Structure 1
Amino acid sequence: MNLSPEMMSHALEHRDLPLDALAGRIGDELDTLARLSAEVQRALSMCHFAEHTDIEAIRGLQGIDRITQALEDLGRLMAAVSTEMPQDVKLHAVPILSRLRLHELAQNLDPDAQRVVIEEEDTGEIQWF
């Protein structure tokens, strides 16, 4: 059965998300972000800073460790919360997921979608944003 774009949009608008599964996906995503934060921290520790680096800059960089630890804790918390939630609580998919700007994040949080795994490219090229 082929659905028109209007019918697909209408079907998505009325699709429900199980809250427990969404909370579990949020926990997984927080864990992924914690790992990325730890990788940034390791990469920065390999950089050679000027001998007289400003103390405020050093304190700012140390904040990455706090971010990593908080993300790890929040990931564990959301994973635990997801197992304690009743399985019959549902949220409407579109109003929740449409608030996200990152397509991959929205897909990773959707319990009905397959998680997107971004592979690191080892091309030697670095793209700064």
Structure 2
Amino acid sequence: MESSQTKSGITHRDLELDALAARIGDELETLARLSSDVQKALSMCHFAEHTDPAAIRGLQGIDRITQALEDLGRLMAAVSGEMPKDVKLHAVPILSRLRLHELVNNLDPDAQPVLMSRDYDGEVQWF
């Protein structure tokens, strides 16, 4: 990754497209695992005897989300392996479109990925 300072003080960095695609694939796989965890957690919840069928169908949509995220993760991993190694993007305008700081860190090859622990025993925080 190349980096340079502009007159305005903003750093220009090039982002390798194949590395970005690989990291997007990794992030999609992580989201698929999280979705699967949500599905498992919901399956342990006790619902009223007469839960609305539409609500049940909505909850079953989580399985579809999980499968789609898994497929997209595998696809992006394969695409990244097929990309030419010399294609670069401007990192700042690309990554600045993201709101989640953790996601920026996970997608930026210059940053250390933030790995979410699957064994977190902390208190649940509802957003």
Equivalent position of 2:101 in the other structure: 103
Q: Map of 1:1-129 to 2, 5 A cutoff?
A: 10-11=10-11, 14-119=12-117, 120-123=119-122, 125-129=123-127
Normalized per residue, the structure richer in strand is 2
Task: Label 1:59 to 1:109 Cα distance change in 2 as closer, same or farther (>3 A).
Answer: same
How far apart, CA to CA, are the structure 1 residues paired with 2:39 and 2:53?
17
How far apart, CA to CA, are the structure 1 residues paired with 2:15 and 2:43?
41
- Structure 2 segments unaligned to the other structure (5+ residues): 1-5
Normalized per residue, the structure richer in helix is 1
- Point out which structure has higher relative CO (alpha carbons under 8 A, 6+ apart): 1
Deviation at 1:127, TM superposition (A): 1.5
Equivalent position of 1:3 in the other structure: none
How far apart, CA to CA, are the structure 2 residues paired with 1:112 and 1:84?
22
Deviation at 1:118, TM superposition (A): 2.5
Deviation at 1:128, TM superposition (A): 1.3
Deviation at 1:9, TM superposition (A): 5.0
Letter in 2 for 1:122: D
Deviation at 1:112, TM superposition (A): 1.6
Partner SS state of residue 15, structure 2: strand
Partner SS state of residue 86, structure 1: coil
Deviation at 1:34, TM superposition (A): 0.1
Deviation at 1:64, TM superposition (A): 0.1
Aligned length in residues: 121
* TM-score calculated relative to the size of structure 2: 0.90
Letter in 1 for 2:52: D
- Structure 1 segments unaligned to the other structure (5+ residues): 1-5
